Amino acid sequence: MHSHATTRCRGFVASRLMSVGCTVLVLFAPATTVVLPAPVRAQRGPTRPSPAARVDGRTFAPDSFWVRKWIRGGADEEDLFVEPRKLTATDSTLAVLDLGTREIHLLSTVDGTTTRVMKASGSGPGEFKQPILVVRDRDFLGVLDNGTARMTMFTKRGALVWDAPVRNVGITESACVLSGARVLFKGQGRYNALMLIDSSGAVLRVFSLPDTSGDPRDTFSATAALAGPSPGDRCAIAPLFGARWYTTDALGGLATHRYIEPGAEPTVKVDSKLVEGTRKNGILQVVEKSNVDPIARSAHQIGDTLIVAAGATKRDPLRLLDYYLISTGRYLYSRRLPSVLTALSVGTDGTFYAASIDAEVSWVVAFTPSPTPPLPVVKRGPR
């Protein structure tokens, strides 16, 4: 059983006490030291429906193996990554956000070599202090910084393109970059949780997820990942809990789709306590705990395909990828991951990039699905 907890510190006024807002989200998963030796099985089960496959409605892609392209970190490079939590890839560059060092490593997607390391340096143009999210445009990389409360877009080599102030950065869960230098953000909860801005920071639209309760405590159960954009500027919204996911357009229109294996709506238990306080101000800690594990862990897109990293599934929990068509919501197929991964991203060419954090070493790996295992390397002696 995997435990999930989130800590919310919210503003409140009671007995002349005013709090300071903050957010901490903790997701626990078992540590793993698997380094994806080639080949590794990418699926388990038939490629066509059968009684065994109908247990959860899934069918599997014909690819049967994961083939590793390259790996960085691990025992050979112990000091390269400390806590690689966020990944995003363009056609040539993989951005790795290391929350342990507040650095962003730009790696070549071809061989994993480091092209640049962007360090937390300040609040000037093109600088950041406390990066919490990396996203991609078709040609650019975006960094959301909690220290300066702004989104900054860089070229694939790390040069500044534009930056914009963003409100409520501390409660932002995910983002989706649209055409015309616009960015859609998902904040906490359901009510007014989606915010669209342009490159100047102007708020173009604020709208809500379906079934808005308006309850300010309804935050953990509405946590969601954004993926996109797909053709037509559609962003996919994959809630971690429940049975449905959504697509949205730039005007706030929402379409509803179902997960292939529906998850349960959580019952959230809320506990709060006063951490410290004086006559004029204080800090209230609010902890929300779910009674069920999330059905989804993250969401990614390539073209018009949404890839959801599944969570609390009937088979292989935390080790399944479910594929959907963003334009229609139709389920396509699934793949089985070789291990439980800390972070995941998919490149424009279909290459997957993953990170794992272990007690002693962390690493980032690139791998692709293959229908057949690679041929063994035969070493020939001198002629």
Least reliable range by pLDDT among 54-63, 82-91, 183-192, 288-297: 54-63
**Per-residue pLDDT at 309:** 97
Q: How far is residue 202's CA from residue 197's CA, in Å, rounded to a whole number? A: 5
Least reliable range by pLDDT among 212-221, 240-249, 252-261: 212-221
Q: Cα angle vertex 71, ends 322, 81, to 5°?
A: 95
**Per-residue pLDDT at 20:** 34
End-to-end CA distance of the chain: 58
Mean pLDDT of the chain: 83
Instruction: Single out the residue of 157, 297, 180 nearest to residue 227, CA to CA.
Output: 297
Least reliable range by pLDDT among 22-26, 92-96, 196-200, 343-347: 22-26
Q: Is the pLDDT of residue 13 over 60?
A: no
Q: How far is residue 125's CA from residue 105's CA, in Å, rounded to a whole number? A: 19
What is the arithmetic mean of pLDDT over 1-30?
Answer: 35
> Who has greater pLDDT, 312 or 275?
312
Please name the residue that has the structure tokens 């002349």. 16
Reading the block at residue 42, the tokens are 């990418």
Least reliable range by pLDDT among 49-58, 127-136, 230-239, 355-364: 49-58
Reading the block at residue 281, the tokens are 């101000």
Instruction: Single out the residue of 47, 132, 144 nearest to residue 371, CA to CA.
Output: 47
Q: Is the pLDDT of residue 378 over 90?
A: no
Least reliable range by pLDDT among 128-132, 192-196, 322-326, 370-374: 370-374
Which phi and psi angles does 13 have, rounded to 5°?
-130, 115
Which phi and psi angles does 96 have, rounded to 5°?
-115, 115
**Per-residue pLDDT at 189:** 87
Least reliable range by pLDDT among 19-33, 92-106, 354-368: 19-33
Q: Is the pLDDT of residue 33 over 60?
A: no
pLDDT confidence tier of residue 52, bands split at 50, 70 and 90 = very low
Q: How far is residue 155's CA from residue 134's CA, in Å, rounded to a whole number? A: 13
Reading the block at residue 140, the tokens are 């650019």
Amino acid in position 113: T
**Per-residue pLDDT at 372:** 80
- Long-range contacts from 197-202, C-beta under 8 angstroms, 24+ separation: 197/151, 197/164, 197/166, 198/164, 199/153, 199/162, 199/164, 200/164, 201/150, 201/164, 201/165, 201/166
Task: Using CA atoms of 140, 144, 148, 153 in order, give the dihedral in degrees to the nearest 10.
Answer: 10
Q: Is the pLDDT of residue 26 over 60?
A: no
Pairing of strands 40-41, 296-302: unpaired
Q: How far is residue 225's CA from residue 246's CA, in Å, rounded to a whole number? A: 11
Query: CA quadruple 104, 126, 169, 7: dihedral positive or negative?
Result: positive
What is the arithmetic mean of pLDDT over 238-250?
Answer: 91
Distance of CA 5 to the CA centre of its chain: 17
* Span 284-312, pLDDT tens digits: 777 878 888 999 999 999 999 999 999 99
**Per-residue pLDDT at 219:** 74
The proportion of the chain whose per-residue pLDDT surpasses 90, expressed as a percent, equals 57
Three-state DSSP class for residue 32:
coil
Q: Is the pLDDT of residue 381 over 80?
A: no
Are 323 and 303 contacting, i.e. CB atoms less than 8 angstroms apart? Answer: no
Instruction: Single out the residue of 75, 375, 348 nearest to residue 230, CA to CA.
Output: 348
Q: How far is residue 289's CA from residue 360's CA, in Å, rounded to a whole number? A: 29
Are 368 and 67 contacting, i.e. CB atoms less than 8 angstroms apart? Answer: yes
**Per-residue pLDDT at 236:** 96
Reading the block at residue 272, the tokens are 């709060």
